[in-house]
Amino acid sequence: MASLLLAFCVIVLPVFASEPIPRGVSRAKGSFYKAGVPFKCLDGSQTIPFDQINDDYCDCADGSDEPGTSACRNGRFYCVNKGYKPESIPSSRVSDGICDCCDGSDEYDQKVKCENTCIELGRSMREEMLAMKKLVEEGYRIRSEYAAQGKTAKLEKQEQLVSLGPKREVLGQTKDELMLKKEAAEQPEKAAKEVHEAWWKEQKAIREAEKEKAKAAEAFAQLDTNQDNLVSMAEMQARAEFDTNGDGTVSEEEVTILLTEAVDTMDLAQFTDTYWELIKKVYKPPVVEVQEPAPPAPTEAVPPPTEATTGDDEDDDSDFDEVNSTCIQDDFDEGDDDNEEAPPPPTEDNFMPAYPEETQVLMSVADAAREEYNKAEKEYNEVDREIQDIEKFLAQDLGPDDVFYPLRDQCYEYTDREYTYKFCPFEKATQKPKDGGTETSLGTFTKWEANGDDSYGSMKFEKGLHCWNGPDRSASVKFMCGTENKLANGAEPNRCEYTFEFTTPAACHSLPDDSESEQPDVEHVHTEL
Ligand SMILES: [Ca+2]
Ligand SMILES: [Ca+2]
Ligand SMILES: [Ca+2]
Ligand SMILES: [Ca+2]
């Protein structure tokens, strides 16, 4: 595209001949070849008589005395190519029997007959140029629309920011006030709840102690086989489970070690208070016939819980805050919802009685304050996020005149034989196998990069998926003028480094008004085309 544009600017001018210039010399260099005047080689190396120009003998080291013959290996022959574009060819192609210039001037000796195709070439070039010019003009027209959209969007966002700023400030104040109100309501709530919870913990401890005492009494009755209300050494020795070394008899020593001291007899109080704790892990209660557990019979004081529960006497970590019913589960296992087994029936121990009424009043006041605060916080956050989004948008470099605005939030795809590539401007580049599979990151957008004079010539994407035994993947998307947004020409010039071309009206620049007034730059055109 660039080369065609350049070519458009260098349509050949009619040649106004003044003095005749030697064959193969361009008009630009014509003044160095003055008829009858000794010729100074263009590299300044020597001066030769004028008649040694094009005498088919190479005199100048730079070949400048033989532009119109093939005598010098490094000479250049200039084709005028009237009607098309001039061209400079190596002078070795002069009179070599092959038509190189479209005007046939390189085969001036007529050994071969060269038809002049310059007019035809010139016409098709001009047609191509015209089509290109139209495309660029259309692209530029769309570009102007893009710029207008970008400008409007930025203005809108700036206006929004003007009104959102104060709004956020007011919401922030409200939020802070409600935070204080919430904290003020939560303090008495917390204190009152703690009192009740501490009481409940104490109650449980008392109950636990009573249970343990009952167990001790039961064991005492079992051990006191002669029922004299004392457990003697002999009675202890009669219990097989106290045979800790497994030699078949229970020695006095074994009992003494278990009780941590020599004890002849112990009464119920001593047994309960001191020795039960030491004995209970070894003691084996009489085996009772296992009965099927009776179906749960909810007691009057304990309404059944409405949700699945797992009661666990040993775990006191209750979540009091969540529950405000008449009974509170001691241990609520959230992960047990899909447990197929029926939960054990609730027992009185599992539930903390409801908080006293005055505590519940404090709780509902705190709930209301929390709700109010949460609502205010949500509103504040929404506006805050909106402001941040706008600021992010305004900070984004959308190119000159914000022409790349319409490419935001868009993605463009290109598929070659193996992969489908996706380019989301300002976001990311990815590739995915054509026949499915997972998407691979080729990088996220990091910066604009220059392409020639255009500082917004390409987008760079970096830090894509790491290449095995290589760098992170990266991609460069070069922008070219076109009437449509289209991704094309994916390539991987270096391992894991991808390049693409993207045509877009946003990259179209207006043509110079006087595009035909420039002098042809032969060397440039030659290399560019
Ligand atoms: Ca010569
Ligand atoms: Ca030739
Ligand atoms: Ca006894
Ligand atoms: Ca023993």
For residue 252, is it within any domain?
A: no
- The rounded Å distance from CA 63 to ligand 1 centre is 9
What CATH number should be reported for the domain holding residue 441?
2.70.130.10
Alpha-carbon torsion, ordered 260, 265, 271, 277, to 10 deg: 20
The pLDDT value given to residue 510: 75
* 8 Å CB contact between 173 and 166: no
Residue 512 lies in a domain: yes
Q: Which residues pair with 420 in a beta bridge?
A: 415, 432
Strand 474-481 to 497-504 pairing:
parallel
Show which of 93, 116, 139 is a domain's final residue.
Answer: 116
What is the C-alpha separation between 233 and 226, in angstroms, rounded?
A: 12
- Distance from the CA of 84 to the center of ligand 1, in angstroms? 30
Give Cβ neighbours of residue 515 (< 8 Å, ≥ 6 apart).
8, 9
Q: What is the pLDDT of residue 316?
A: 44
For residue 257, is it within any domain?
Answer: no
- Which pLDDT value is given to residue 314? 41
Distance, CA 283 to ligand 4 centroid (Å)? 15
Total domain count, the chain: 2
Ligand 3 center to 250 CA (angstroms): 17
Asked, for residue 311, whether it belongs to a domain, the answer is: no
Q: Classify residue 432: in a domain, yes or no.
A: yes
**HEC profile for 460-489?**
EEECCCECCCCCECEEEEEEEECCCCEEEE
DSSP string, 225-275: TT-SS-EEHHHHHT-GGG-TT-SSS--HHHHHHHHTS--SEE-HHHIIIII
Ligand nearest to the CA of 221: 3
List, in order, residues 6 or more apart from 318 with CB less than 8 Å away.
Answer: 197, 328, 329, 330, 331, 332, 352
CA distance linking residue 388 with residue 199, whole number of Å: 49
Residue 157 in contact with residue 393, Cβ under 8 Å?
yes
In this prediction, residue 406 carries a pLDDT of 95
Domain-terminating residue out of 116, 149, 169: 116
pLDDT value at residue 287: 84
Distance CA 61, CA 261 (A): 122
- Does residue 360 sit within a domain? no
> Would you state the pLDDT for residue 294?
57
Domain that holds residue 518: 402-528
Neighbouring CB atoms inside 10 A of 525's CB total: 19
C-alpha to C-alpha distance for 75 and 64, rounded to whole angstroms = 6
Residues in the chain where the model's pLDDT stays below 50: 1-17, 298-340, 343-344, 346, 514-529
Q: What is the pLDDT of residue 288?
A: 77
Question: Of 116, 132, 165, at which residue does a domain stop?
Answer: 116
CA of 116 to the centre of ligand 1 (A): 28
Determine the Cα–Cα distance for residues 140 and 483; give it in Å rounded to an integer. Answer: 8
pLDDT of residue 94: 94
Give the ligand whose atoms come closest to the C-alpha of residue 265.
3
Whose atoms come closest to the Cα of 89: which ligand?
A: 2
Query: E strand or H helix at 322, and its extent?
Result: none
Q: Does residue 293 fall inside a structural domain?
A: no
What is the 13 CA–ligand 4 centroid distance (Å)? 124
- Model pLDDT, residue 405: 96
Residue 44 inside a domain? The answer is: yes
485 contacts: CB under 8 Å, gap ≥ 6: 407, 410, 412, 502, 503, 504, 505
Cα-to-centroid distance, 39 and ligand 1 (Å): 10
Quote the CA–CA distance of 143 and 148 in Å, as a whole number: 9
pLDDT score, position 512: 59
* CA 19–ligand 1 middle distance (angstroms): 21
